Amino acid sequence: MRRSSRFLAFNVLTLAILLVASAAAPAPAQGQEHNAPGKSLTLERLYSQPSLSGRLTQGIEWRPDSKCFSYLERKGMGKDAVTELWTMDTATGERKVLVDAATLKAVTQPEKEKTTQATGLGRVQADNYQWAPGGDSLLFIGSNSLVLLDLKTITPKSLVSNSTEIEDPKFSPDGKWVSFVRDSNLWVVSIAGGEPKALTTAGSEEVLKGKLDWVYPEELDTRTAYWWAPDSSKLAYYEMDERPVTRYPIMDMSSPVGAMDYTRYPQAGEPNPIVRVGVVAVVGGETK
């Protein structure tokens, strides 16, 4: 049976079941037909605000001790809308504001119009923030900035700013470093202060260091291309040589002038990237 025939048969069977169920349902008692409160559902109400679908909770993250989780709470509509960061205690259900709207606005960047890319982690919406391993601070993630917010003093500290695009930021297990990928190279910055430093060099569109290509996230469900050692002394990372992979032009339909993106995509039977694993110390030096 063709797929369309199976689909039609399934719909007919479903309709028949619903008709039988409705016929078998007991009729309401006399005088109760119109007792249910409510308003008529009009076409205007279907397409007006607030949406009948409700609003999905965004930015859900567990605190490292698992005793509570945080989430973004949006209030109001349109230009008057504000967003706060709330927490909920898993044992008691108590909810409270963790970061107010004014502070949250100061440490976050507005979302980019284009939130997806053709390759790597760009196809997955990035996290807005992360908890530090000790649970005493939050890392707010922008497209080209990283801001650390001390939860005791509510004092923000800029770790990375005014740079090219940042991808895949992570805390080290001891919470003393933040790593990220920039310009196809692996970088770290100390929480204590100082300038970010590159742990790898010569990364490019052809050779990715700590950054995923198209194949690994799409076909192998891989979400990162580097990992911290448990003692925070070093990092292991993928080096992906993309030069054997065919490079295809992709029209960017979101651009008003018809910009062109390029994606390396291996057709069936064609070469995949050449991948090896390197290990580099957090203080820098030669990759092994």
Could you read off the pLDDT of 32-88 as tens digits, one per residue?
Answer: 555 556 788 899 988 887 788 877 889 999 999 999 999 999 888 778 889 999 999
| CA nearest to 236, candidates 244, 225, 247, 223 | 225
The strand pairing partners of 243, in sequence order, are none
76 against 236, higher pLDDT: 236
Query: What residue spans define the domains of the chain?
Result: 55-107, 163-288
Q: Tokens 């580097």 belong to which residue?
A: 226
Q: Is the pLDDT of residue 27 over 70?
A: no
pLDDT, position 252: 87
**Residue burial 4-37, b: 16+ Cβ < 10 Å; e: rest:** eeeeeeeeeeeeeeeeeeeeeeeeeeeeeeeeee
pTM for this structure? 0.77
Could you read off the pLDDT of 113-158 as tens digits, one per residue?
Answer: 444 444 444 444 456 899 999 999 999 999 899 999 999 999 999 9
Handedness of CA 42, 47, 48, 52 (dihedral sign): positive
| CA nearest to 136, candidates 182, 175, 79 | 175
| CA nearest to 105, candidates 85, 125, 88, 126 | 85
Determine contact, residues 240/275, Cβ cutoff 8 Å: yes
- Which of 34-38, 169-173, 184-188 has the lowest average pLDDT? 34-38
